[in-house]
Chains A and B, each alone.
Chain A
Amino acid sequence: MRYLTVALTKGRLARQTLDLFERCGIDTAGAMDKDTRKLIFTNEELGLRFFLAKGPDVPTYVYYGAADIGIVGRDTIIEENKKLYEVLDLGFGRCRMCVCGPASAKKYLDSGEMIRVATKYPAITKDYFLNKKHQTVEIIKLNGSIELAPIVGLSEVIVDIVETGSTLKANGLEVLDEVIPLSARMVVNQVSMKMENERISEIITRLRNELQKQNA
C-alpha cells in the first residue's frame, strides 16, 4: 500500500489536528511528542505518515504531491493561491483577517484616498482593497510585528490576523474593518484525490463525523 502523507502546520494547529485525529481513532504515531527530533511519523497499520512544516510551505508540499493531505489556515491557502482541493473546515484556529490602525486612521478607509498598508499577506490585501473597496493602496510587505508599522509611521493601517485583539489594544490600535473570517482547513492534492479516492474520503468522513459530534 502506498503511504498517504499528511503535512501539518507547526505549532498549535498541529497539536489540535493530531488531537482530532486521535479522537477519530487514527493513531498519529507519537507525532504529539514535543521532545522528539524526528521529522516524520509513520502509522504502518493504516499506511499514514505525518510531518510538520511551516504554514506557507504546507500548500506547496500538497500542490507538488509530496504530501497528499495538508492542514493549514485559510489565510495561507488564499495567500499561496495553489491549485488544491479545499475539502473541510476543521473549525479550530478561528480568527479574523482585519484592517487595523489607530482610531484616527478610520477616515482614510472611507475617503478612498491613496494610503500605505503594511501586511504579511500582500495577496489578500491587494484583493481586498482593489476588488472590494476599490481603493488604490501601496502595499508594504513585512514579516512580523506588523503592529509596529502604524506606530512608527511606516504605514497608515495594517492588514493582519486578529484573535483576541489584546496585542492591538496594548499598542493603541483597533480593528477598523473585517476582511475575511479564518479557520483551519484540510486541503488535498488534486491527483491524490482521484488516485486514492476511497482512503482519503474515508478520512474526511471520519473527521467530519467527529466535528459534527463535537458541535452537537
Chain B
Amino acid sequence: MNNRVIHTPEGFRDLYGDTMKSKVKLMDSIRSVFDKYSYQNIETPTIEYFDVFSSDIGTTPTNELYKFFDRDGNTLVLRSDFTPSVARAVSMHFPEEAMPVRLCYEGSTFINSAELQGRLKESTQMGVELIGAESAEADAEIIALTCESILAAGIREFQVSVGEVDFFKAIAESTGLDFEKIENIRKLISNKNFFGVGELLDESGLDSGLKEALEKLPQLFGGAEIIDEAEKYAFGPREQRAIKRLRDIHALTKERGLDKYVSYDFGYLSKYNYYTGIIFSAVTLGTGEPIAKGGRYDSLLGNFGKDYPAVGVGIYIDQLMNAISRQGRAPLM
C-alpha cells in the first residue's frame, strides 16, 4: 500500500488547524472593510472561455493558464485573475443606468507558474472593482480601501506605491522612437536601472529635455514631493493630466489620514497594455511579492463591448498570511 497518493501536487496544499483559523479570521476582517465601503458581492465561474483571458486582455502569460477543452472542442481556462471575469459579467448584466457599480469578489485563482519558485499555483484572492467611475475620487477610494484592508489584517508597516502609466506612455510617444527601443527603455526603467537609460539614449540624438525626463524616471519615486519633481518633465497635456491626477489622489488620501502609507513611483510601468491610468502595488517586509495590486483599466470593458471606465484592486491573501507570520518570526541573526 506504499503507492497510495496522499500528498498534493506541487503548488497546491491543504489548509487546516491554526493556519486555516487565521485565514478565515483574516478574510473576515477584509470582508468587513469591503462592506464598509458598500461593495456588493459577485461570483463568477472558476472556468471561463480562453478568450476572456487571452493575451490582449489578461495579465497572465497565456502559457501559464490551465487550459482544457469542453465537449465541443472550445478551449477553456481556470481563471488566473478575477478582473477579466468581472468585466465580462458586468458587460453582460449591468446596463449603463446602473453605473457606477461597486463589486467585490473572493476565491481561488490558478496560475501554472514555473516550478521551484516557491509559489502557490492555486491562491486565494479578494478584491474589488469600481466600474463606471473615472474620477480621482474613485482612484483614491480604491487606494484607501487597500490601505484599510491591510491595516485590518494587522500589518502596520507597508507601502502602497502608486504610478501613472500614461506619464511614461506620453513621453515615450513624443520621442518617436521605434517600438523595440521603447520596450528596452521601459524594461530599464522598470528595473530601476539608474543609469542604463542614459547610456541607451546617448546615440539616439533625442531632444535633451525628453532624454533627461526618461533618464530621471527610474529615480522618480518617493513621497508626495516626487510629484512636484516629476512636474518639471511634464511637457505635454497628457503628462500634466497624470501629474494632476496623482496630486488629487494625494490630497484625498491625506484627508483620510492614510497618506503616510502611500508613495509615488513614476517608474512603475507595466508590460501589459491593460493599465490606462494609475497602477499600484502594496509591499511589506517578509514577502518578496506584492500583497495587493491594482490600477485603472478604462479600455478593458471595451473588449466585451461596453465603454465603462474601471478601477480595482486584488489582494493576495496567501502573500498577506506569509507576511504576517514572517513578520512575527525574526531571523536568527
Residues of A within 8 A of B (CB): 40, 63-66, 83-89, 188-191, 193-195, 197, 201, 204, 208
Other A-B pairs, 17, CB within 8 Å; known A88-B194, A194-B161: A64-B118, A83-B288, A85-B191, A87-B191, A87-B193, A88-B193, A190-B283, A193-B192, A194-B221, A194-B263, A194-B265, A195-B157, A195-B283, A195-B284, A197-B221, A204-B194, A208-B194
Which 3 pairs from chain A and chain B are nearest by CB?
Answer: A85-B192, A191-B283, A86-B191
Chain A nearest CB: distance from B257 CB in Å? 20
Does B285 reach chain A (CB closer than 8 Å)? yes
A66 CA to B118 CA, complexed, in Å: 15
Is there contact, CB below 8 Å, between B333 and A40? yes
0/1 per residue, B191-228, Cβ < 8 Å to A?
A: 11111100000000000000000000011011000000
Are B288 and A88 neighbours in the complex by a CB distance under 8 Å?
A: no
- B331: which A residues are within 8 A, CB to CB? 66
B159 at the interface (CB under 8 A from A): yes
Q: List 12 A-B contacts (CB under 8 A).
A: A40-B333, A64-B288, A65-B285, A65-B287, A65-B288, A85-B193, A88-B195, A191-B285, A193-B192, A194-B161, A204-B194, A208-B194
Of listed A84, A194, A208, residue having the most chain B CB within 10 A: A194
A88 to B199, CA, bound (A): 12
CB distance from A53 to the nearest CB of B (A): 15
Q: What residues of chain A lie closer than 8 Å to B265, measured between beta carbons? A: 194
CB-defined contacts of B100 to chain A, threshold 8 Å: none
List A contacts of B118 (CB < 8 A): 64
**What per-residue 1/0 map shows which CB atoms of B279-318 lie under 8 Å from chain A?**
0000111111000000000000000000000000000000
Give chain B's interface residue range (CB within 8 Å of chain A): 20 to 34
CA distance A194 to B265 in the complex (A): 9
SS class of chain B's interface: helix, strand, loop or mixed? Answer: loop
Query: Which residues from 55 to 70 on chain B have a C-beta closer than 8 Å to any C-beta of chain A?
Result: none
Q: A85 to chain B: which residues have CB within 8 Å?
A: 191-193
Residue contact B196 to A194, C-beta cutoff 8 Å: no
Digitize B123-166: 1 where CB-to-A-CB distance is under 8 Å, 0 elsewhere. Answer: 00000000000000000000000000000000001010100000
Q: Mark B215-245, 1 if CB is under 8 A from A, else 0.
A: 0001101100000000000000000000000
Q: Is the CB of A191 within 8 A of B222?
A: no
Contact for B193 among A63, A64, A86, CB less than 8 A? A86
Complex Cα distance, B195 from A197, in Å, reads 17
Smallest CB separation, B169 vs chain A (Å): 21
Bound CA–CA A204/B222 (angstroms): 15
Q: How far is the CA of A103 from the CA of B72 in the complex (A)?
A: 55
Within the complex, the shortest CB–CB distance from B60 to chain A, in Å, comes to 15
Determine the distance from Cα of A195 to Cα of B331 in the docked complex, in whole angstroms.
Answer: 18
- Chain B contacts with A in 5-27, Cβ cutoff 8 A: none
> Closest CB-CB distance, B234 to chain A, in whole Å?
22
- A191 near B287: Cβ-Cβ < 8 Å: yes
Q: Which residues of A contact B285 (CB under 8 A)?
A: 65, 191, 195
**B157 neighbours in A (Cβ, 8 Å):** 195
Please state if A87 and B194 are interface contacts (CB–CB under 8 Å). yes
B288 touches A63 (CB 8 A): yes
Q: Which residues of A contact B159 (CB under 8 A)?
A: 194-195
Alpha-carbon distance A195/B159, docked complex (angstroms) = 7
Contacting residues, chain A, for B218 (C-beta < 8 A): 87
**A63 → chain B closest CB, angstroms:** 5
Residues of A within 8 A of B263 (CB): 194, 197
Bound complex: CA A99 to CA B219 (Å): 36
